[in-house]
Structure 1
Amino acid sequence: MARTDPPRVSVIIPAYDSMPELTRCVTSAMEQTIGLDRIEIIAVDDGSTDGTGAELDRLARGCPALRVVHQPNSGGAGGPRNTGLDLARGDYVFFLDSDDYLGPDALRRMVATADENRTDVVLGRMVPVGGRAVPTAVFSHNQPRTDVFSSHAYRTLGCWKLFRRSLIERLNLRFPPYRNCEDKPFTAAAYLNADGISVVADYDCYYSRDRGNGNNLTRTAAALADRMDGTRLCFETVARYLEPGARRDRIMRRHVEWELCGPLRALLPLEDEQAARERFYPQFRHWALTYVTEGVFRQIAPPDRLLVHLLRADRYEDLMEVARHAEEDAARGHVVDEGRVHWNHPYFRDPAKGVPDACFDVTSRLPVHHDLTALDWRDDGAVLHLAGHARIEHVATRDPGTRLILRSRDGTRPDVGVPVTARTVTDLPGDGAYDRAGFTVDVDLRTVDAGAPLGHGLWDLFLDVRAQGVSRTVRLRRPRAEGDGTGTAPPWRETAFVARPGHRPTVARLLPTPDGNLGLEVRRAGHRAARACRVTGTAWDVSAPGTLVVTGRLTGDAARGPEPLALCAEHDSGAVRALPVRCTPDGRPADFTVRLPVGKLPPGRWTLTLRARDPDDRAPVPRLDGLAGTRWFRASRLGRPYYAKPLAGGPGKTLVLRVAPVRLTAALRRRLGTRRG
């Protein structure tokens, strides 16, 4: 009986002379865990001559979900994809190239992610096979809902993604009839009109294969003649959907770097003189004049700035000379002058060339390398001591003037700068160029702010790294060697000290953020919470996985007040989840029970405290003996197992929980190791 309900996904496979890779490609779609009853596979044979059509027909005879279409050769992948789109009935569409293949659980995960987050495009992590390059930055972590301005998604414009079909039909999107770059305008238009983008980074979804015979279309159609139309449409697509301004500049930068400057540098010198000068150069110059705004110009790297400047100035001969010598000129080093660093290109300050310094200025792009080797509290917790090294790449550490910067997270206070003491280090690269990169600094929280104590609140720590008048400011990161025993473990404990005689003590605590940066919390010490309650038990609820039950007793005024306390779980980033402390209805009036749904907390380190109405008044939830770790399955993350366990390194005896997904491969190795033992 024919299926009448629409499938969840239409998998579209364009195929041209795709043997022998085609078989694994199609079977990877047929074996998806989402089930053949929920997908349709539309394979379009685009006039193949190697048996591709016959193999598709053979596979279709054993799979009702596979539909095969045979058509004359169209010259590119866009034509057969369009044929598949015209036939597709799924809620979503996934484009699968015939030399690639899917991970078994790929479609189920991506569809579930799109459904849960109501997003229109889902990127599944790509895996290279046979040396083919794939994007990596966007897949550093799962992103349930993002966009092209908040992620690296726009760096990958291949169409190997899950698209909501209603978005495609609303925009009337189809692939242009080009041999190369035909998928970039399609994906760009979908991105720029999508109601949200998701990234599945914790599963290998798409295996991108480099054919052993070198017949990938991106190789056989790599000349400028096959790229220019697609590049033009990329620029026009961005201009169509984004108004001029910073947002358009950010997106346009990608095309200037990859579709304009990259091919100009690598491919234009390979063309014959007449074609280069009369056919391709005018088009490149038009794009530079039309789409490279000053905002884009400032964002691109100096080698690209130089090309754009020569295009704008209509200097064809100089442009070709720069393009032909790009590789050797890239390694010519740098010049430091009056607090700026410039690329030492032959055109730099050549009077005969007259190219502005801005085309060579690399100051804002120089990486800063820094590391903490010591981090501890001194003078009874009133002084934060730091030591390490910091250097700006390509800038020798002569005349160092590095400072530590304390910056209020809410922006309500001026920055507080603390000069550091330079010291000699001998184990850095550079043949002694960075021997004065070492530093030490003592931050006395009682007097650091021009003789006054550091104000209460959250402060982020920065380094303003300076040498030879060049300055670069970066976030200070916690010691990277904290976990493996090489280096100093950061003192995450709270410290208390008297900032002013006659005033309540001040509490300070280092707060590492999830991405490894350092923050500092300063607040008044509180006593009421500590006097008002006593925790008597912590245990995991056996009937509600991932729920921690905290029991205790209120004392004094707290026992008579209406909900005077809250149980707080505080993330290292400063985020807080609070639950009111309520007395148990069947117990004594002063007894309380709080149920904390740890299973709903985002991953990271969570410190548990009891707080009074005054947020500075808190008492630790103690780490009691007998509390072990626990596991649960998180439905909102496609059924992935998570765990929580008490950490031994909490401040004092405070209960600190680590919440994280279970690493399935590590868990399997442990299980197998246990069985072997």
Structure 2
Amino acid sequence: MIIPAYNSMPELTACVTSAMEQTLGLDKIEIIAIDDGSTDGTGAELDRLARACPALRVVHQANSGGAGGPRNTGLDLATGDYVFFLDSDDYLGPDALRRMVAMADENGTDVVLGKMVSVGGRAVPTAAFRHNQPRTDVFSSDAYRTLGCWKLFRRSLIERLHLRFPPYRNCEDKPFTAAAYLNADGISVVADYDCYYVRNRRSGENLTLTAAALTHRMDGTRLCFQTVARYVEPGPRRDRIMRRHVEWELCGPLRALLPQENEQQARERFYPEFRSWALSYVTDGVFQQLSPPDRLLIHLLRADRYDDVMAVARNRKEDAGRGYLVDKGRVYWCHPYFRDPAKAVPDVCFDATDRLPVRTELAEAAWHGDGGVLRLSGHAYIEHVATAEPDTQLIVRRRGLAHPDIRLPVTARTRADLPGEGRYARAGFEVDVDLRTVAGGQPLGLGVWDLVLDVRAQGVSRTVRLRRTATGGDGSGTAPPERALGGRAAGQGQVLVRPFFTPHGGFSLHVRQAESALGRACRVTRTAWDPTARGQLIVSGFLTGQATSRPGAMTLRAEDTSGSVYEVPVRCSPDEDRDRILFTARLPVRRLRPGQWTIALRRQNEQAAVPPLDAVTGTHWFRARRLGRPYYATPLTRGREEVLVLRVAPVRLGAALRRRLGPRAVRRERRSHR
């Protein structure tokens, strides 16, 4: 653990003590605290704490002017497998390091984010910490929203990249963390424990406050853009990452800080660099993802309209409340430049249609009558769009597997209790969903189905999850009870529907088959890839009860979303030591065509699910008849349904090469072929 410290009293004591009291144990921790030329007794306090803690090593050095210098000193001295940066203003939860190290060890990840907590009102990111994530990356999570270095890093990653902090007073940690993120072999998130407590100093001397001017930010921002361009190839993935820097490091400071500079500095020093970033890094893909205020700034920067940029920045608060105009199914921000012939700014710069909040609430979800009709009611509206012509639809959408959306019209209801002085009076809705016939006269298929609203008014359409804002945590006690809908076909038993709320309030349906006699008797104990035959899945377990006296002919069945079936026989043998029948089957997954395949055991008209046991990960093989092209199979998650689903597909050779060699190696390979 590395703790940079400069004039950090009195917060320093609690900071270091929190490191010394970690449940991981001092025998597994080295604490390196660097006194960066303090004059307030910080150095003496570190020496005092070190005398009682052999794991604490104190280094005294001349002041470097920022936190990067002492962190680099700590990196040069560190010897552990992991590095954690702890600022001297902050402190750790007692079990933080143990949980983060365990997460990295169990999942082989290079970076671990521990949940951050605000102390005294200092802002902290929250989006990345909605739930634990054992293994993810910056392209499929919100991890990139937090670029502070208060994370657990695998030290081999830092040394492989030769990462060190640049000598800046502000934004010095963002390029460091960005480079680590973009080269990491997986990222983990610990969200179920308060790991890192962030606070402001009583003296108000935090560097983020004392070095907030543009002169302290520009170098770090420039390096952020350069880091992303260095490690991520152009395309949608780079656009996703660049958007964060355009919003937070370009548009935010330009709007809030540039007008505070004197005219010469603003025009000659800072504005040209802001403009160069807009020209170099804001692609059309990034531009489309921005909010209207940011799009307007980027357009004016690209057009080199300095006076308009400054006017827009200075008037940002007044212009934010100017309202919206609905025109031909689009919603536009009524900024003074909107459709002003003298300004000639394209409408796209003001288009807010996809950015407006959608307000929904599921007020009631209950079974209606004795059959399979589920009655739903509540309200839904798009902010700033009056509901004079509502045409909202309910969408029933299959989770995880490809299936056409099922769309149902809803009945509009008048609501007098919503804000907006009558603007949203027709935002109420009610719909009866007959789950026995909803799918074109047929019941819903097995699996998890999410309910979505296509909220429409005045030709404007926005699609959002149907949700309840307040549920009982996991939805227990708030959703209607499970209900049987009858059999799907002769001999296949009953179908059960269980409505539930997700942890974030989304309303979903779990459709499953009632457990058959085979399901009650069958216990799968192993699912694994055969080490002697690539692409072959082994499923084994045992049968108990009456099934041992009449096991019958069993098969292991794979069925894809189009209804294609591939089956292999199951071999059964008596267990001499116990009253049960052992079974084993080998499914050559390599023979399956590309698609999503559900794996189950079958006997006559009965079926038992094969669960997605932890031992099954991804595998790959080569198909000789396809010119040696590699294929892979990987398990998919299907919400709350405990059944193994495998995706079979050809390996994308370009993506595989980038993962293996890294972005820099791929660019060298491309240059060598030019």
Distance 2:191 2:318 in 1: 37
Instruction: Select which of 69, 74, 83 maps to 1:79.
Output: 69
CA shift, 1:341, in A, is 1.2
CA shift, 1:178, in A, is 0.8
Instruction: Select which of 456, 473, 495 maps to 1:507.
Output: 495
- Residue 549 (structure 2) pairs with residue 561 (structure 1): no
Instruction: Select which of 345, 359, 363 maps to 2:353.
Output: 363
- Residue 281 (structure 2) pairs with residue 291 (structure 1): yes
Match of 2:374 in 1: 384
CA deviation vs aligned residue, 1:280-323 (integer Å, no higher than 9, x gap): 00000000000011111111111111111111111111111110
CA deviation vs aligned residue, 1:391-411 (integer Å, no higher than 9, x gap): 112211111111122334466
CA shift, 1:455, in A, is 5.9
Structure 2 counterparts to residues 378-457 of structure 1, below 5 A: 378=368, 380-409=370-399, 412-445=402-435, 447-449=437-439, 452-454=441-443, 456-457=445-446
CA shift, 1:553, in A, is 3.6
In structure 1, the residue corresponding to 2:71 is in which secondary structure?
A: helix
Gap change, CA 1:81 and 1:477, over 3 Å in 2: same
**Structure 2 segments unaligned to the other structure (5+ residues):** 522-541, 558-569, 584-599, 615-674
CA shift, 1:198, in A, is 1.4
Match of 1:118 in 2: 108
- Residue 134 (structure 2) pairs with residue 134 (structure 1): no
Structure 2 counterparts to residues 148-159 of structure 1, below 5 A: 148-159=138-149
Gap change, CA 1:285 and 1:19, over 3 Å in 2: same
Distance 1:533 1:75 in 2: 67
In structure 1, the residue corresponding to 2:221 is in which secondary structure?
A: helix
- Residue 47 (structure 2) pairs with residue 65 (structure 1): no
Instruction: Select which of 328, 334, 346 maps to 2:318.
Output: 328
Match of 2:45 in 1: 55
**What's the TM-score, normalizing by structure 2?**
0.76
CA shift, 1:108, in A, is 2.1
Distance 1:580 1:351 in 2: 79
CA shift, 1:250, in A, is 0.6
Match of 1:250 in 2: 240
In structure 2, the residue corresponding to 1:261 is in which secondary structure?
A: helix
Query: Contact conserved, 2:438 with 2:444, CA < 8 A, in 1?
Result: no
Distance 1:293 1:130 in 2: 39
Amino acid at match of 1:321: A
**Structure 1 segments unaligned to the other structure (5+ residues):** 1-10, 536-549, 567-578, 594-609, 620-633, 635-677
Distance 1:128 1:219 in 2: 16
- Residue 18 (structure 2) pairs with residue 38 (structure 1): no
CA shift, 1:109, in A, is 2.0
Structure 2 counterparts to residues 222-621 of structure 1, below 5 A: 222-378=212-368, 380-409=370-399, 412-445=402-435, 447-449=437-439, 452-454=441-443, 456-458=445-447, 459-477=449-467, 480-481=470-471, 489-496=479-486, 507=495, 509-512=497-500, 514-515=502-503, 516-520=505-509, 529=516, 553-554=545-546, 559-561=550-552, 613=603
CA shift, 1:486, in A, is 13
Match of 2:18 in 1: 28
Query: Contact conserved, 2:556 with 2:601, CA < 8 A, in 1?
Result: yes
Match of 2:645 in 1: none
Distance 1:425 1:140 in 2: 32
Match of 2:640 in 1: none
Distance 1:198 1:251 in 2: 18
Gap change, CA 1:384 and 1:33, over 3 Å in 2: closer
Amino acid at match of 1:398: A
Match of 2:134 in 1: 144
Gap change, CA 1:350 and 1:460, over 3 Å in 2: same
Query: Contact conserved, 1:479 with 1:487, CA < 8 A, in 2?
Result: no
Distance 1:275 1:503 in 2: 80
Query: Contact conserved, 2:554 with 2:602, CA < 8 A, in 1?
Result: no
CA shift, 1:463, in A, is 1.5
Query: Contact conserved, 1:482 with 1:490, CA < 8 A, in 2?
Result: no
Gap change, CA 1:553 and 1:84, over 3 Å in 2: closer
Q: Percent sequence identity over matched residues?
A: 70
Query: Contact conserved, 1:129 with 1:208, CA < 8 A, in 2?
Result: yes
In structure 1, the residue corresponding to 2:246 is in which secondary structure?
A: helix
CA shift, 1:189, in A, is 0.6
Amino acid at match of 1:233: L
Question: Which sits farther off after the overlay, 138-147 or 401-410?
Answer: 401-410
Amino acid at match of 2:445: H
Amino acid at match of 1:464: D
Gap change, CA 1:302 and 1:457, over 3 Å in 2: same
Query: Contact conserved, 1:130 with 1:211, CA < 8 A, in 2?
Result: no
- Residue 162 (structure 2) pairs with residue 192 (structure 1): no
Distance 2:95 2:402 in 1: 48
Distance 1:412 1:137 in 2: 28
CA shift, 1:521, in A, is 5.8
Distance 1:136 1:485 in 2: 22
**Alignment length, in residue pairs?**
563
Distance 1:490 1:237 in 2: 51
Distance 1:137 1:440 in 2: 32
Query: Contact conserved, 1:565 with 1:613, CA < 8 A, in 2?
Result: no
Query: Contact conserved, 1:25 with 1:100, CA < 8 A, in 2?
Result: yes
CA deviation vs aligned residue, 1:423-461 (integer Å, no higher than 9, x gap): 1122222222212111222234555455x3346344443
Query: Contact conserved, 2:37 with 2:63, CA < 8 A, in 1?
Result: yes
CA deviation vs aligned residue, 1:342-379 (integer Å, no higher than 9, x gap): 12212112222111111111111222222223333446
Distance 2:47 2:519 in 1: 74
CA shift, 1:36, in A, is 2.3
Distance 1:463 1:454 in 2: 20
Distance 1:51 1:111 in 2: 33
Match of 2:537 in 1: none
Distance 2:478 2:501 in 1: 18
Gap change, CA 1:167 and 1:385, over 3 Å in 2: same
Aligned Cα root-mean-square deviation (Å): 3.6
In structure 2, the residue corresponding to 1:186 is in which secondary structure?
A: helix
Match of 2:620 in 1: none
Structure 2 counterparts to residues 73-112 of structure 1, below 5 A: 73-112=63-102
Gap change, CA 1:309 and 1:30, over 3 Å in 2: same
Distance 2:571 2:305 in 1: 71
Gap change, CA 1:13 and 1:354, over 3 Å in 2: same
Query: Contact conserved, 1:478 with 1:512, CA < 8 A, in 2?
Result: no
Amino acid at match of 1:554: Q
In structure 1, the residue corresponding to 2:160 is in which secondary structure?
A: helix
In structure 1, the residue corresponding to 2:250 is in which secondary structure?
A: helix
Query: Contact conserved, 2:362 with 2:377, CA < 8 A, in 1?
Result: yes
Distance 1:164 1:504 in 2: 51
Gap change, CA 1:487 and 1:289, over 3 Å in 2: same
In structure 2, the residue corresponding to 1:244 is in which secondary structure?
A: coil
Amino acid at match of 1:453: Q
Gap change, CA 1:83 and 1:397, over 3 Å in 2: same
Distance 1:91 1:206 in 2: 20
